[in-house]
Amino acid sequence: MGLYRQLFDRVLTRTDAEQAHHAAFRAIRAGRPVTHLLPAARGAGGGAAVRAMGLDFPGVLGLAAGFDKNGVGIDALANLGFGSVEIGTVTAHPQPGNPRPRLARLPADGAIVNRMGFNNEGAQAVARRLAERRLDRTGRRSGVPLGINIGKTKVVPEDEAVADYERSAALLTPYADYLVVNVSSPNTPGLRDLQTVERLEPLLRAVRRRADDVSSGHVPLLVKIAPDLADDDVLAVADLALALGLDGVVATNTTIARDGLASPASAVEAAGGGGLSGPPLRRRATEVVRLLRGRLGPDPVVVGVGGITTVADARERLEAGADLLQGYTGLVYEGPFWAARLNRALARSGATR
């Protein structure tokens, strides 16, 4: 058992999950003067470069949205060996999120349950922070592509959701290498209803127009969907992505399902409601990627997320049709250089789609 896993099992599991997250993130940011000197900071830990959406990713595995909601540690996280960093979810207006406790672990499953509720400082504050980041020698603000994930403000009525997303797109697109519309979190009431094609089409068209209005070039646009969609609904989203010329689909978000868990029922009940992430999500997330690739054909990008912990998990998702991968729960359970190890191993095995 590695040193990090001993620390996790003996100390972190006895600490409130959200407090542990904030402490770990502070340590990652504080360590940036050192981690930028490590091999992981140069080329995603030796990972194989991937070109997708007109962008160069130094490694196939990136950091999923949710870890850095406000864009406060992008470069420090990139130094850990991620091939990209996706921040957010950011909403047009600042909001505190759901009441605490709202984050729990299920160690027997290597899983996390969250009902954070898009707690963030709001698009204007995040945009201001991104504008202040230093440019590197290539004229970019990060050594890896930066994704910005946007979602609906909770208090905004559903009939004003499009305008809410447009506001975020207008403020944040100038700083994004790619933009993700999140309509799949289970923790904002009514959000998943936006995944129906009838509601999703005008939303995506509006965000695309607004992004184009504020950018001098094409900023790739993707939509993030839930694993709990029926197969026919997944295919309908794929058809819509093709019809609108979207750059890709992020599959998948967390699940509301609790089937087949190794954790005792009492632990699952204590963790409460919200989205489940980690290995229990792996099979369905892989199925969704396979469905999408079969319908989309070879061109639109599919970003595989959910239950990726091992090299075998990553290979399986790539073989199912993913172009890029993302993780979050694996970082929590496997430690700060998990992404560097995975990207390096995938590069050695030549595992890309």
117 is in an annotated binding site: yes
118 is in an annotated binding site: yes
Q: What SS3 string covers 249-285?
A: EEECCCECCCCCCCCCHHHHHHHCCCEEECHHHHHHH
Cα–Cα separations (whole angstroms), residue 338 to 28, 51, 77, 99, 243 = 13, 22, 12, 30, 37
187 is in an annotated binding site: yes
98 is in an annotated binding site: no
329 is in an annotated binding site: yes
Rounded Cα distance between 35 and 278, Å, is 26
Is 185 part of the annotated catalytic residue set? yes
152 is in an annotated binding site: no
SS3 call for 104: strand
Q: Which of 185, 216, 263, 266 is catalytic?
A: 185
310 is in an annotated binding site: no
Rounded Cα distance between 253 and 238, Å, is 16
Residue 353 has a CB neighbour count (10 Å cut-off) of: 18
According to DSSP, the residues that pair with 265 across neighbouring strands are none
The three-point CA angle 71-73-77 to 5° equals 120
307 is in an annotated binding site: yes
100 is in an annotated binding site: no
309 is in an annotated binding site: no
Query: Binding site residues, as ranges?
Result: 65-69, 89, 114-118, 149, 182, 187, 224, 252-254, 278, 307, 328-329
Residues placed in the known binding site for FMN:
65-69, 89, 149, 182, 224, 252, 278, 307, 328-329
Bind-site residues for substrate: 69, 114-118, 182, 187, 253-254
Q: Which residues are catalytic?
A: 185
